[in-house]
Structure 1
Amino acid sequence: MCGTCRDETVYSSLFGPPDIFRIGDAGLRRELGRTYQGAELDRFIGVFRASRPDAAPARLCFAITTSPIRRDAIKVAEAKAARRAAPVFMDQLACPSPTLVPGTDFPIGSPHASDIALEFAHADQDPGSLLNADRSPAWPACTPAGRATMWLDAECRIVRDPDRAERLYWHSVR
């Protein structure tokens, strides 16, 4: 099982100044400019802005800084699938918490480690399990052809190759 959270890097920003949660376009470029420069920075912002057209600059910043974590989880899943020793299952926590980052009006989303309780819940904590009612959709293994990912949200569903354009961009640059 390989999984990530939709807003992984929000967690690490909780311990710094809250300014990151209020950045505009110039702040987005400044923050990302610490890692990416020039045309590469422009391409990253363009790819992510196209795939998330309604995202504010701070959301784009977290999406871009989260994407290497997702990329690495995909690489692990692909390597495990290639071994064919056992099926591989991918998930992504997409259910955003309404909790606001202290001192801001920025919702925390689904930051790093917020998926653990959902992925490893005990049956005695899940009323559906007690009633033998499975509320989750059938979860196919993740393969390079299908890239099935359990989208953990208020209603779980299978998403095929989530954030495909972002994944393909990473594949082209690294």
Structure 2
Amino acid sequence: MTDAVLVLDLFTTEAILGGDERLVKGGRVSFGRPMIYPVHPDELDPLLARRPDHGQRKYVLLHFPFDLEPPRAGRRYESATIGISFEDDVAALDITPIAPHGDEQVHLDIRGIGRTEVAWDLLAGEPAAGLRARSRVMQVVLDIPAGATGLRGALSAKLTIAPGRREVGTQGRPQSET
């Protein structure tokens, strides 16, 4: 991602000779520049208009891009959890993933509606293949104070990395050309 606002290198331990372990880079998540769009209350659930604090709130759509960068050689992503923790007095009203064109089958669990913390758990539809390293976008409709001029929060990522799938029929055999 060329315009990353945050890059998280994620590390794991690996056994080495003598029973010791070493720290190795397992994967990377790059977060792109988020975009915020106003949302008119008429576009949301009509029950929001009944809230006693309705005039003191506004609603925005946070468009949140991130990339799973390729894992190190011989590895695959089994799962990924991407999270955002917003400062007080911000709550998620709706959370929507946007699947890229041609995305592999991904099982997606969403957490955080009505809370200040939201998370997306991505699980590979075919565990042996893993999640593809690619760009993804999540969108969150947020309920914020009417006078707010920006959003502040913390990003988090957790990746589960496993050995990659081996090529069949080519491991350890000499190749010949004709």
Using the size of structure 2 for normalisation, the TM-score is 0.24
Higher strand share: 2
Larger of the two Rg values belongs to structure = 2
Q: Which has the higher contact order (CA 8 A, sep 6+)?
A: 1
TM score, norm. by length of structure 1:
0.24
